[in-house]
Amino acid sequence: MTGIAGNLARGAALLLGVLWLAAAPDTAAQGYPARPVRLVVPFAAGGPTDVVARLIGQKLSERLGQQFIVENRPGAGGNIGMGLVAKAPPDGYTLLVASTSIAVNPSLYANAPYDPFKDFAPITCAADAPNVLTVHPSLPATTVAELIALVKSNPGRYSMATSGMGTTPHLAGELFRTTLGLDLVNAPFGGSNPALASTVQGQTPIAITSMGGTTELIKGGQLRALAVLAAKRSAALPDVPTMAEAGVRDQESDTLAGFLAPAGTPREIIDRLHREIAGIAGQPEIRQQLEQLGFDTVANTPAEFAAMIRVEVDKWGKLIRAVNIKVE
């Protein structure tokens, strides 16, 4: 009996230990963060993704008592920075602040150094900025319909500035051109600033760019906005119609600013970061600052952000293959 009783006692202790471990929080998440956290932005400083990262990062530092330090790792259309985070330890101390390129690059580059589904744990899309179709004020087109008619009556004459080969403005330009069968030259520049400068100067009379950086030029009269490429109007430009309202459907495209961690990061850390970032993005003063930058607050759940990335991968992958766009 003593042997049986002893075995029962040991079995009960083992069961209690297993139950305690199951109920206990992941030790990796206890006291997180205990040291500074890197926010890797895979683009140069000053761009829309970088600005959002710094805005949210500053608030995270204040709320969590550790520095969230923005580290710019530009190059290869964002692949360098994204590849770095994909291979980082999954401990919550190296995070990625990504744009829509995280979904675009696997189709655009033959050897993207990451898998958007396997290598990252989505936290939240904090905000996104719709792309916007603008023209130089001298162009005789005040609506999308007038622009389409103008281009069709002058085949090969007009060019359209977009930012960077494979960026969502560039792909949106291809979608617009191919959907409507327009003989329109898509001219990708090395970023949104040179693209906008070319259109403001009248050298490239049409542009599709991210709302960030474009809003003030529109409000200042240097550019004429014809439509936002979003499902709903932008709070930054409430008087500008969507492309669907302007008569052209299925043209939505935007530039997201989303937070992700390396795959395998403890769920407790992902949930903590989601709560904090969503709370920050929901603050009235932060929402206002994001709107001034051309961003609309999203702050979705990790599952919703993962689904969002999958939709973007499928959408842009189909276009890239159809138009045969490749970047070496």
Q: Where are the chain's structural domains?
A: 33-129+255-323, 130-229
Q: Do you find a cis peptide bond into 302, omega within 30 degrees of 0? A: no
Residue 289, phi then psi, degrees to nearest 5: -65, -40
The Cα–Cα gap between 281 and 274 comes to 10
Closest listed residue to residue 273, CA positions, set 291, 299, 295: 299
Q: Residue 173 in contact with residue 160, Cβ under 8 Å? A: yes
Residue with the two structure tokens 């281009």: 151
What share of the chain has pLDDT > 90, as a percent?
A: 73
Query: Other CB atoms closer than 10 Å to residue 44's CB: what's the count?
Result: 13
**pLDDT tens-digit profile of 10-64?**
444 444 444 444 444 455 567 999 999 999 999 888 878 899 999 999 999 999 9
Instruction: List b or e across 237-248, with b for residues whose CB sees 16 or more CB atoms inside 10 angstroms.
Output: beebbbbbebeb
The top-level CATH class assigned to 33-129+255-323 is alpha beta
Q: Report the chain's C-alpha Rg in angstroms.
A: 23
CATH code of 130-229, in short, is 3.40.190.10
The pTM of the full predicted model, rounded to 2 decimals, is: 0.82
CB of 61 closer than 8 Å to CB of 33: no
pLDDT at 1: 46
Can you tell me the distance from the alpha carbon of 238 to that of 279, in angstroms, rounded to the nearest whole number?
25
Q: What is the pLDDT of residue 27?
A: 55
Tokens 């956290």 belong to: 37
DSSP state of 210: E
Helix, strand, coil percentages (3-state) for the chain, rounded to 5, are 45, 20, 35
| pLDDT tens, position by position, 269-328 | 999 999 999 999 999 999 999 988 888 899 999 999 999 999 999 999 999 999 888 776
Domains 33-129+255-323 and 130-229 share a fold: yes
Q: pLDDT digit string (tens) for 55-94?
A: 999 999 999 999 999 999 998 889 999 999 999 999 999 9
